[in-house]
Chain A
Amino acid sequence: MRFTAAGFTRAVSLLAVVATVGLLPWLSGRDPALTVLRARSAEQEPTQEALDAVRRDLGLDAGPLSLLGSWAAGLVRGDLGTSWVSGTDVLPSVTAGLQVSLALMGAALGVAVLLAVVLVAPVLVRGRASAGAGAAMLAAVPEFLLATVGLLVCGVWLGWLPTSGWQGPASMVLPAVALGVPAGGLLGRLVADALPAVLEERWVELWRGAGVSRARISAAALRRVLPPLVPQFGMAAVGLTGGAVAVETVFAVPGIGRTALGAAKSQDLPLLQGSVLALLLLGLVAGALAALVRRRLLGPALRDASLALPPPRPVRTHPAIPLTLAAVLLTTIGWGLLRDPYAVNTAARLASPSWAHPLGTDGLGRDVLARLGHGAAATVGTAAAVCLFSLILSLALGFLPGVAAGAADIANALPPVIVGILVAAAAGPGTGGAALAVGAISWPPLSAHAAALVQEVRASAFLTAQRAIGAPPSWILTRHVLPSVAAPVARHALLRLPGIALALASLGFLGLGAQPPAPEWGLLLDESRAYVERAPWAALAPAIALALLAGLAVSGAAYAQGRRGTVSATARKETPVGVV
């Protein structure tokens, strides 16, 4: 491989991620010796001698660099260390979890491909314009929401399928569907949206005129569409590793994702290191496989971007759809904000909806509407801060496209949930940590957009004219380049707000974000799971709010895309909204 700035930053970013994993025991700041002591024997007093003994035992007194060194050396030998909590080797737990997760992901992939075929078929058979809003909606619904709703409807109300554990094929159905549907919606939408423009290319006309059968043209069009989309498929596979954490947790599947989350919560750092590393490896292998498949499909002569797709014809969304969704959400939030989210009324626990409590009450008798309204401030407010951070970062990185591209590749390979687990393990769970985790990986699409715009402005004649009149670089930057770049990128950042809010909610749902009793949407959904049979409204309210948010993310983006007319080259790097 040639030495490039992008390649360099890619390697540096990857090393930084691995080093962060390796340094977790040191980064976490809290005294791991205490954790270990508690886990091993709850009765023993945490005396200085006992703690020192544990520290020597773990090698924690040696400092960060030797810690990293011994961890890396162990890694090379295939030794992932010993669990602090159970005292057993980490490697067997990781491989056992990995086997379960791979089976689950395989089944999910089957569901995804099946769904994608269903979405693509109408375009090929009946020549429809695109897969439409339904597919976009499916792609935007986060796995944890789908899993909870699936558990509620099919498992609890209808009692068709087992809702927890990992015994036999029946228990695989719900998790695989919850994990596979968003991925399938994404794959189907990408292919179905690209097909109509491809079917209007000149060669199709020629083939038809020559009497080539419809089936063969369809097959050729698919073959034409797939290679440029393969990197996006790789990213969907990365999304599966993040989604697996949520889905395995909801359905109590003993996979690698649930192992990682459990280890983060119990501060069992060696087990966490092992399982996060396995998840990262899965993501990277998926990315590498995607690159390989693309090469294979394209053949040796064609390289990057030499087979670009024609810009998809945008499906224009009527502005009424996002406006209605926003109005419903804002009214609910506004109403809820007028009420008290913390007032505990044990006499009215799990009350059904009434005038006093329009959306009912939760397990402590708190008003669900009030908690939903105040939760919006926590969820959407934090998302706005993350958006602003990504905007500023991407404007800065827009001027260094080479440097940004390498780091973006790594950031794209990290699902927010896994970064959230790492941040929570190092700094403890909290809103700030969740925001940091989502912010650290939400900038690549924005910075790619900014880089494209900077390049466009720099190439324009009016900028050359500025240099010719003797304008200093600072003048050109502040009067011409930034104004041209900042406004479109800011609009783009605003459109990603709902998607970022969903990512934050998924971290809250997993207990990695806001902590009780804070009313955060993901957390609300998680808390309501405990009594979902007696008070389904407590779960439905945040679920519907999150679904509305997902709808807003999709329809807002579609509306903006319709207005922009064509999708620029930046779309290649865009992460689909809501893939967690």
Chain B
Amino acid sequence: MTHLLDVRDLVVHYGTVTAVDGVSLTLEPGETLALDGPSGCGKSTTALAVLQLRRPDAGEVRFEGVELTSLTERELRPLRPRMQPVFQDPYGSLNPRHRIRDAVAEPLKVQGRWTEADGPTRVAELLDRVGLAPSYGARRPHELSGGQCQRAGIARALASDPRLLVLDEPVSALDPSVRAGVLNLLADLQDDLGLGYLFICHDRAVVRHFADRVVEMRDGRLVT
């Protein structure tokens, strides 16, 4: 059986520093794998390397059975929508000049799935799915709260119809009162859509509550 995600011996160097040093992990559809560890241990670099946003220096990343590290940027592009990131900084992950509805519509346009007839309806559905009223579509990021921005970022990720979400500390920049709402939204989406989550977090309470399995990372290596 092929895993949704199968990472083997992943290595990433930054200059002379080895940020990720032989990380291996697997993830199934509908499963949440938490990657826990202190800051600077290579969690976020692992996330970027899995998504091929930072090409790894060695190792394999198999996504739905396809080996990604040997593909060129051009070959990778049609596969990218299937795995989407959600970033820590809710404001920084949206272009401050663009309206929310344009940000959510952008994946549809880039991937050639936008039509004047269906596009706006699809955007409204996505905003509704993440709990944002349609009126928020006309706003820009600085006119939203952090939690609302993070929901918009999740809506943009969903617009690509992904199978895997890589969540890089998605709630650590949010107020504790808002965190629960966003985490519940993520849990609902997983139940409905069967998404696999690679969940990067260093808040033990959140990890224990949210994840099916936990692996711990220290100095670029997994601790067992």
Contacts and interface: CB of A to CB of B under 8 A. Distances in A.
B205 interface: no
B80 A470 contact: yes
B106 A462 contact: no
Interface string B91-102: 011110100000
Given A475-B110, A483-B97, A467 B92 contact: no
A468 B97 CA distance: 19
A465 B110 contact: no
A483 B85 CA distance: 24
A266 interface: no
A470 B97 contact: no
Contacts of A347: none
Contacts of A479: 106
Contacts of A471: 106, 110
Contacts, number: 57
Chain A interface size range: 10 to 19
A484 B83 CA distance: 27
Interface in B20-39: none
Interface string A450-480: 0000000000111011111111100100011
Contact of A465 (B77, B78, B83, B85): B85
Nearest to B93: A461
B84 interface: yes
A467 B80 contact: yes
Contact of A470 (B89, B93, B95, B111): B111
B163 interface: no
B53 interface: yes
B97 A465 contact: no
A460 B92 contact: yes
B95 A469 contact: no
B77 A472 contact: yes
A454 to B, nearest CB: 15
B84 A461 contact: no
A464 B94 contact: no
A461 B110 contact: no
B80 A468 contact: yes
B160 A469 contact: yes
Contacts of B156: 465, 469
A130 B135 CA distance: 47
Contacts of A465: 85, 87, 93, 153, 156
A462 B78 contact: no
Contact of B53 (A460, A462, A468, A480): A468
A464 B53 contact: yes
Interface in B172-214: none
Q: Which of A467, A468, A475, A483 has the most CB of B within 10 A?
A: A468
A479 B110 CA distance: 11
B164 to A, nearest CB: 11
Nearest to A468: B85
Contacts of A467: 53, 80
B107 interface: yes
Contacts of A464: 48, 53, 85, 87
B81 interface: yes
B155 interface: no
Nearest to B108: A469
Interface string A396-408: 0000000000000
Contacts of B89: 461
Contacts of B106: 466, 469, 471, 479
Contact of A469 (B87, B97, B111): B111
A466 B79 CA distance: 14
A472 B106 CA distance: 12
Contacts of B87: 461, 464-465
Contacts of A469: 80-81, 84, 106-107, 110-111, 156, 159-160
Contacts of A466: 106, 110
Nearest to B112: A470
A466 B93 CA distance: 10
Given A468-B85, A469-B81, A484-B97, A461 B111 contact: no
B94 A462 contact: yes
Nearest to A476: B110
Nearest to B156: A465
A470 B81 contact: yes
Contacts of B94: 462
Given A462-B93, A465-B93, A470 B78 contact: yes
Q: Which of B78, B94, B106 has the most CB of A within 10 A?
A: B106
A468 B92 CA distance: 15
Contacts of A462: 92-95
Interface in A461-511: 461-462, 464-472, 475, 479-480, 483-484
Contacts of B171: none
Given A461-B92, A461-B93, A462-B95, A468 B110 contact: no
A465 B95 CA distance: 10
Nearest to B89: A461
B51 interface: yes
Interface of B: 48, 51, 53, 77-81, 83-85, 87, 89, 92-95, 97, 106-107, 110-111, 153, 156, 159-160
Given A470-B79, A470-B160, A471-B106, 6 more contacts: A461-B89, A462-B95, A465-B153, A468-B85, A469-B110, A469-B159
25 contacts: A461-B87, A461-B93, A464-B53, A464-B85, A464-B87, A465-B87, A466-B106, A467-B53, A467-B80, A468-B51, A468-B80, A468-B83, A468-B84, A469-B80, A469-B81, A469-B84, A469-B107, A469-B110, A470-B77, A470-B81, A470-B107, A470-B110, A471-B110, A472-B77, A475-B110
Instruction: Give the top 9 A-B pairs by smallest Cβ distance, nearest first.
Output: A470-B80, A461-B93, A469-B107, A461-B87, A461-B92, A470-B77, A471-B110, A462-B95, A468-B85
